[in-house]
Amino acid sequence: MILTTSWDDGHPLDLKLLGLLEKYNLKATFYIPLSNSENPVMGKSLIQELSTYQEIGGHTISHTYLNHLSDPVAKYEITQCKVLLEEIIGKPLYAFCFPGGKFSNRDVLFMKNAGYLFGRTTNLLSASNPKFNLMNTSIQTQNHSSTTLLRHCIKRFNIGPILHNSFFLPFNKSFLKLAEYNLLKCRESNSVFHIWGHSWEIERFNLWNQLEDLFKLISSLDRITYLNNTETWKSICEKSKTRILSFNKNDKETVGITL
Ligand SMILES: [Zn+2]
């Protein structure tokens, strides 16, 4: 299986997170806005330092929710943050994350036209779908109640976790237990496990020890490949192509299939 992690908002505490990721050799993508009215954001030199260890992704310029913006402003926020971050880190950006998980088809189009490979969502307990250029996640490092998770899945018509009892009472308000359960399930099915969160939130809710316990558990398991989000995305796309090719080979009357 593949294990990937992503961390949003570019808070200076991301450096603490980096230390923990390095300790367990985990790979990550940090999605960074250039400014944020709600939280402090790392300056240029810290972003540069972080980029020497892990991948950097775009998270708009000012961390505004795209669904409230006019077309030109949304396009500017998505496109220009790529230009500015690439100037800072001296490398191309491939990954983008929608602030607050808010986006429409319009924003996906702007994201693709800007040259990103995919947009990371805040959809939990979900597999990614290359067809829509969206990378979904498995768990957030936040102790959500079962009710919140249930509502989240229903809202997105994601009934898989409901059918599989993925987050009911035993996992109530424990991202660690929820992660353990789903991590082992992902390992059995050889799929992608994607952890995402915010360093400022981990600090606010005093979750650093739980996060380290999760990293310890991960590092105790074998047969896991650690990749950043873009490497994971490329691997998912490659796998999809292989599946289409083998499908075509076995069945000449292939019609459009959804992967
Ligand atoms: Zn954010």
Q: Find the CATH number of the domain harbouring 187.
A: 3.20.20.370
**Ligand 1 centre distance from Cα of residue 63 (Å):** 6
Residue 31 forms part of a structural domain: yes
Query: DSSP state, 16?
Result: H
Residue 209 Cα distances to 149, 151, 167, 174, 242, angstroms: 22, 28, 21, 13, 40
**Ligand 1 centre distance from Cα of residue 252 (Å):** 45
pLDDT for the residue 26 = 98
Counted domains in the chain: 1
Residue 256 forms part of a structural domain: no
Residue 164 forms part of a structural domain: yes
Q: What is the pLDDT along the chain (259 residues), one digit of tens a residue?
A: 999 999 999 999 999 999 999 999 999 999 999 999 999 999 999 999 999 999 999 999 999 999 989 999 999 999 999 999 999 999 999 999 999 999 999 999 999 999 999 999 998 888 887 888 999 999 999 888 777 877 777 777 777 776 666 556 666 778 898 888 889 888 888 899 999 999 999 999 999 999 999 999 999 999 999 999 999 999 999 888 776 555 444 443 333 222 2
Residue 167 forms part of a structural domain: yes
Contacts of 25 (CB under 8 A, 6+ apart): 219, 226
Contacts of 106 (CB under 8 A, 6+ apart): 71, 74
Instruction: Tell me the residue range of the domain where 101 lies.
Output: 2-250
Contacts of 139 (CB under 8 A, 6+ apart): 124, 125, 175, 178, 179, 182, 194, 195, 196
**Ligand 1 centre distance from Cα of residue 9 (Å):** 5
Q: Tokens for 133? A: 């250029």
**Please, where are the H alpha helices in the chain?**
14-23, 44-51, 71-89, 105-114, 146-155, 160-163, 175-189, 199-204, 208-219, 229-250
Residue 24 forms part of a structural domain: yes
Residue 187 forms part of a structural domain: yes
**Ligand 1 centre distance from Cα of residue 130 (Å):** 22
Q: Quick one: residue 90, left, alpha or beta (phi over 0 = left, psi -120 to 50 = alpha)? A: left
**Ligand 1 centre distance from Cα of residue 198 (Å):** 8
pLDDT for the residue 257 = 29
Residue 242 forms part of a structural domain: yes
pLDDT for the residue 167 = 56
Closest by CA to 132, choosing from 159, 148, 109, is 109
**Ligand 1 centre distance from Cα of residue 202 (Å):** 14
**Ligand 1 centre distance from Cα of residue 106 (Å):** 19
Residue 258 forms part of a structural domain: no
Pairing of strands 55-58, 28-32: parallel
**Ligand 1 centre distance from Cα of residue 201 (Å):** 11
Distance CA 26, CA 257 (A): 34
pLDDT for the residue 255 = 33
**Ligand 1 centre distance from Cα of residue 79 (Å):** 17
**Ligand 1 centre distance from Cα of residue 95 (Å):** 14
**Ligand 1 centre distance from Cα of residue 167 (Å):** 24
